[in-house]
Amino acid sequence: MFDLTALNTFALPATAQRLLRLQSCADAQAFVARRGREAALIVGGGSNLLLTGAAIELVLKVEIRGRRKVSEDAAAVIVEAGAGENWHDFVRWTLTQGWPGLENLSLIPGTVGAAPIQNIGAYGLEVSERIEALDAMDLGTGELRQFDAAACRFSYRDSVFKHAPGRWLVTAVRFRLPRRWQPLTHYGDIERELGAQGIAAPTPRQISDAIIAIRRRKLPDPAVLGSAGSFFKNPVVDQAACAGLLARYPALPHYPQADGREKLAAGWLIEQCGWRGQRRGAAGCYDKQALVLVNHGGATGAEVLALADAIRADVRAKFDLELEIEPVVV
Ligand SMILES: Cc1cc2nc3c(=O)[nH]c(=O)nc-3n(C[C@H](O)[C@H](O)[C@H](O)COP(=O)(O)OP(=O)(O)OC[C@H]3O[C@@H](n4cnc5c(N)ncnc54)[C@H](O)[C@@H]3O)c2cc1C
């Protein structure tokens, strides 16, 4: 039996019968060659998992390392990283190399290989905007296949991989970092943070530093307070639904999307229902950001799900909106 409590940032109790560390593609191929019928859960940094305590047979812990420049031309630098590389360390390394483009995704926990799974995003950028291609192994056959960005079918916190859990093991990701760098500072508090430091024309590293500072203030440090970050996706609604809500709630934050729909802030909706800072047993709604559910110590996955259900019911009753859980429920 392998205790998974320390392997998920929510610190939820769960065990697996076996844990296999994959440090190379050859490790993964050897696993496929001898695997039986056991179901495997792929784990990177465990920062987007909600473990309910259900019996897990096998955990495949992805620890494939390595990062390198693949090529460059006048337009972009192509950089590759192994799936087991720490995401934030990789982002900072690209900045040190003088290849900006990922700085808005600084300090997101987890691994490079998991970043495409839910198309991580923050501060106005989704990782899909920087992915050139990735390599993934079919755990049924051992075939290593390249997916270009189109084949990944990215959308908001979603990809083709999220719909086939356990089938594809991402082994490496290649990023296209454009040479013509454009600062992306209009989102959230970035401009205010830079302004407070007297920075008018920020460098990529200064944007990264500003985002790190903002995130440290707003989000719980998993080493201190367990969480999986944002617990619900922001609902995306059509214009008519948004207008109807705005008529009743003029302060409703809403962000126009490329497809003409509007993204609403789930955290605001939850806060309006009075949940910010509330607790149900050891599970709670974070007092600095209502979108984050936390484990105050000793919570189980079932307790977190019960809290989530209560929040969803209140949001449904007040706004007639359905909140979708963001982390992968195991
Ligand atoms: C404090 C905090 C803040 C966060 N902020 C953000 C944020 O701003 N934006 C955001 O998008 N997310 C955020 N997250 C969520 C999380 O960090 C990301 O989803 C991250 O990409 C998860 O990486 P991981 O390695 O921990 O994945 P895990 O939790 O280990 O796995 C997540 C899913 O990906 C699968 N998976 C993992 N590795 C692989 C692989 N190599 N191949 C195939 N499947 C794989 C797993 O099976 C699982 O389904 C936050 C989380 C926390 C705790």
pLDDT, tens digit, 9 for 90 and up, residues 200-224:
999 999 999 999 999 999 999 999 9
Structure confidence by residue, pLDDT tens digits, 304-328:
999 999 999 999 999 999 999 999 9
- pLDDT value at position 188? 79
The residue contributing the CA closest to ligand 1 atom 18 is 48
CATH architecture of the domain formed by 67-178? 2-Layer Sandwich (3.30)
Give catalytic status of residue 230 as yes or no.
Answer: yes
For residue 328 and ligand 1, the question of a CB distance below 6 A is answered with yes
E strands within 65-206? Answer: 67-72, 76-82, 121-122, 125-126, 131-138, 144-148, 168-178
Q: What is the mean pLDDT of the chain?
A: 96
Q: What CA–CA distance (Å, rounded) separates 325 from 229?
A: 11
- pLDDT value at position 54? 85
Could you tell me what percent of the chain has a pLDDT over 70?
100
Q: What CA–CA distance (Å, rounded) separates 137 from 169?
A: 5
Q: Fill in the amino acid letter for 5.
A: T
CATH class of 2-62: alpha beta
State the distance from the centre of ligand 1 to the C-alpha of 249, rounded, in angstroms.
33
Structure confidence by residue, pLDDT tens digits, 111-128:
999 999 999 999 999 999
- pLDDT value at position 59? 97
Hey, which residues does 183 pair with through a beta bridge?
none
DSSP string covering 223-284: TTSEEEEE-BPPPEE-HHHHHHHHHH-TT--EEE-TTS-EEE-HHHHHHHTT-TT-EETTEE
- Cα end-to-end span (Å), the chain: 17
pLDDT > 80? residue 131:
yes
Q: Which CATH number fits domain 226-329: 3.40.50.720, 2.40.110.10, 3.30.590.10, 3.90.78.10?
A: 3.90.78.10
State the distance from the centre of ligand 1 to the C-alpha of 274, rounded, in angstroms.
28
Catalytic-labelled residue, pool 92, 103, 106, 157:
157
For the segment 68-76, the average pLDDT, to the nearest whole number, is 96
The residue contributing the CA closest to ligand 1 atom 4 is 229
The residue contributing the CA closest to ligand 1 atom 32 is 48
Q: Residue 232's CB: how many other CB atoms inside 10 A?
A: 23
Q: What CA–CA distance (Å, rounded) separates 132 from 130?
A: 6
State the distance from the centre of ligand 1 to the C-alpha of 115, rounded, in angstroms.
6
pLDDT > 90? residue 132:
yes
Catalytic-labelled residue, pool 227, 230, 262, 312:
230
Q: What CA–CA distance (Å, rounded) separates 105 from 317?
A: 34
**Domain boundary assignment for the chain:** 2-62, 67-178, 188-217, 226-329
Catalytic-labelled residue, pool 85, 262, 303, 326:
326
Question: If DSSP codes are grouped into helix, strand and coil, which group holds residue 17?
Answer: strand
Q: What is the pTM of this model?
A: 0.96
Give catalytic status of residue 35 as yes or no.
Answer: no
Cβ-in-10-Å burial (0-12, 13-18, 19+) of 279 comes to: middle
- pLDDT value at position 39? 85
- pLDDT value at position 210? 98
Give catalytic status of residue 227 as yes or no.
Answer: no
Q: Are 87 and 109 in contact (CB under 8 A)?
A: yes
User: Given pLDDT bands bounded at 50, 70 and 90, which one contains residue 170?
Assistant: very high
The residue contributing the CA closest to ligand 1 atom 14 is 229
Higher per-residue confidence, 134 vs 257: 134
Kindly tell me the number of DSSP H helices and DSSP E strands found in the chain: 8, 20
Structure confidence by residue, pLDDT tens digits, 261-292:
999 999 999 999 999 999 999 999 999 999 99
